[in-house]
Amino acid sequence: MSRAAALTFDNRFTRALPADERTDNERRQVAGASFSRVKPQTVSAPRVIAVAEDLAAELGIDAAWLASEEFRDVMAGNRVLPGMDPHATVYGGHQFGNWAGQLGDGRAINLGELKLPSSGHRMLQLKGAGPTPFSRMADGLAVLRSSVREFLCSEAMHHLGVPTTRALSLVLTGESVLRDMLYDGNAALEPGAVVCRVASSFVRFGHFELPTSRGDVELLRRTADFVIRTELPDLLTAEQIEGAALGAEDYLAWYREVIRRTALLMVDWQRVGFVHGVMNTDNLSITGLTIDYGPYGWLDDYDPDWTPNTTDASTRRYRYGQQPAVAQWNLAQLGNAIAPLIERVEPLQDALNRYAPIFTRAYRDAFAAKLGVPSDDDATPELIGELERTLPVVEVDMTIFFRSLAEVGPASSPGSALSIVEDAFYDTAALTGEALAAWESWFERYAAALARGGVDRDARRQAMNAVNPCYVLRNYLAQQAIDEAEQGNYDELHRLQRVLERPFEEQAGAERYAERRPDWARDRVGCSQLSCSS
């Protein structure tokens, strides 16, 4: 008997929500439905090149099945297991601030909802497994470089404690895919790949925007009811969980929870220096997860205006420092979308007004922890604010700076403190004049804050090292793994994956993964410049 027979699928989404009446796989507008059934495209020579073994164990997948041809074929899209119900969902969205109409899963096919061995469900989704009715003019496929980036970043974020979709597997397809990486007319054939993404839900803000834009309040209500019942049952009575009607107050409570989760997610992105790159409303999760790892990037030198997305180069709408404000704008669009369920604007606005205080408090707590100072100290907000103004004065590596800061003590002079964090500076010769004065001023304030905190130095060092990672998925490290993988060598991919599984621990032999970005990577495509094709 196949070991996969032990896996149980309970497809709540396709059971509860309306399906597209058509079963063909032609590109089209789909109204009155939440999804279209579609099967993955078969590939010629699938090969599993990476797996997340801890996630497999959580899903109830044993090591023997991970190594089997059946697992390989399922993760490549060549086989559908009994109980799966493959489908692509339809949604809309605001892209770069403009309403784009129908979008949908153009490069993702949901295989089915797997029941966990303990409790709960996880949707298995293949990214790059072929076209769907929502692929528009695209082929629904993915290339190795983007799939490596998706796999590594999903897992890196998870181990950093950032809510995210996970990546179970990375499979080479044996096919070639034509891509124009920077949309500059230089298309080339690249190796194809498929990532299996995993989440409790892949529902996005855009799943609510589209039915409202079409005046389909019934579909809007059914979608909201489904998400609340499956993802946030604690908001409901037992009768409502079983099917009793939800009212305006229930939808408001849900909206407030989405606001809270989204605010906390933005804090998590900011605290680790992650830049999503394309924060369209169709790329924000209704459950507060990080989804859709496209043209993302990590801050090397701290720069609030940096975005990795070449498509966003002119306006920098989705730059690092703008992410919290964009999230609030996106939440406002979600509020507009669910307004027909509440029928009054004031409570929606009141709920949205909670976003800023939630974000501000959580941001203060997170950065106070990174600095090792008391969050409730009245001087802490200004200490954080002054640091934010000082970090961009000269190029300072964000990850190395915060990690090194644990070695600074309340008795450290500004000069000795700068010596301790010296490795974080890309050009120490720039530390002169006003730049030097700014840093000396900040370290004086910092030493005073540490003294007021009165925490034992070893305890503070341990606490700071638990929130300031030694390793993040630096852009150039991901590109190096991609370069080798495209030559058929996956050793670097595996090494990097293992290092990122323990980001807060200094690992022997992994020193190079904690170093500053090299100069050659400063402007290289893939390291600092990425498009939505990345």
Is 216 marked active-site?
Answer: no
Q: Out of 105, 282, 292, 397, which one is annotated catalytic? A: 282
Distance CA 363, CA 431 (A): 28
Beta-bridged to residue 143, according to DSSP, are 192
Tell how many helices (H) and how many strands (E) occur in the chain.
19, 11
Residue 137: is its pLDDT beyond 90? no
Helix (H) or strand (E) holding 457: helix 457-465
Residue 302, pLDDT above cutoff 60:
yes
pLDDT of residue 533: 59
Query: How much is the average pLDDT of 33-44?
Result: 98
Quote the CA–CA distance of 256 and 250 in Å, as a whole number. 10
Q: Which residues of 287-297 are buried (b: 16+ CB within 10 A; e: fewer)?
A: bbbbbbbbbbb
pLDDT tier at 4 (50, 70, 90 boundaries)? confident
Question: 70 and 93 in contact (C-beta within 8 Å)?
Answer: no
- For residue range 106-134, list pLDDT tens digits in order: 999 999 999 999 899 999 999 999 999 99
Which tokens in the block code for residue 282?
């169709």
Q: Does 274 score more than 90 pLDDT?
A: yes
Residue ranges in 19-68 assigned as alpha helix (H): 53-59, 63-66
Q: In the chain, pLDDT over 90 holds for what percent of residues?
A: 93
- pLDDT tens for 449-469 read 999 998 899 999 999 999 999
Of 161, 129, 113, 124, give the one whose Cα is nearest residue 39: 129
Give the strands of the sheet with 87-89, arranged side by side: 35-37, 87-89, 108-115, 121-127, 188-199, 166-179, 47-51
pLDDT digits (tens, 9 = 90+) for 243-272: 999 999 999 999 999 999 999 999 999 999
Mean pLDDT across 36-64: 97
pLDDT score recorded for residue 181: 79
φ, ψ for residue 369, nearest 5 deg: -65, -40
pLDDT in tens, 206-252: 999 999 999 999 999 999 999 999 999 999 999 999 999 999 999 99
pLDDT (0 to 100) of residue 1: 46
Q: What is the pLDDT of residue 239?
A: 95
More confidently predicted of 157 and 313: 157
Per-residue pLDDT, 2:
61
- pLDDT classification of 52: cutoffs 50, 70, 90: very high
pLDDT score of 321 more than 60: yes
So what's the pLDDT on residue 5? Answer: 67
Average confidence score pLDDT of the chain: 96
At 184-194, the pLDDT tens digits run: 788 899 999 99
Round to whole Å and give the CA distance between 439 and 418: 8
What is the mean pLDDT of the segment spanning 176-198? 90
- Dihedrals phi, psi of 192, to nearest 5 degrees: -85, 155
Mean pLDDT, residues 135-142: 92
Strand 87-89 and strand 121-127: the pairing is: unpaired
Instruction: Provide the Cα torsion 132, 137, 139, 142; round to 10°.
Output: -100
Q: Dihedral angle at the C-alpha atoms of 104, 106, 111, 117, nearest 10 degrees?
A: -70
349 token code pair: 């606005």
C-alpha–C-alpha distance, residues 285 and 262, integer Å: 8
DSSP state of 17: S
Interval 134-147 mean pLDDT: 94
Query: What is the torsional sign of CA 484, 486, 487, 488?
Result: positive
Comparing CA positions, the residue from 193, 26, 30, 39 lying closest to residue 110 is 39
